[in-house]
Amino acid sequence: MNQPITVECPTCGAPVEWGPQSPSRPFCSERCKLIDLGAWAAEEHTIPGDNLEDDLFSGDLPPREH
């Protein structure tokens, strides 16, 4: 008998069974999914870039306003 795969929700840490019964996976709910999306939109999450590439292409764009 196979044990279902369980992962932790990236937002709240709740266990989530990986399968069709969990449509928001890896999140436990649509709410946690939207919280994570909001964090990306607010630039609270980032993916590290390449410093050389950033220097090469930073002049192509207008300065960002915060």
9 is in an annotated binding site: yes
19 is in an annotated binding site: no
* Cis peptide leading into residue 62 (ω within 30°): no
Can you tell me the distance from the alpha carbon of 54 to that of 12, in angstroms, rounded to the nearest whole number? 33
23 is in an annotated binding site: no
28 is in an annotated binding site: yes
Sequence ranges of the binding site: 9, 12, 28, 32
Please give the annotated binding residues for Zn(2+), written as ranges: 9, 12, 28, 32
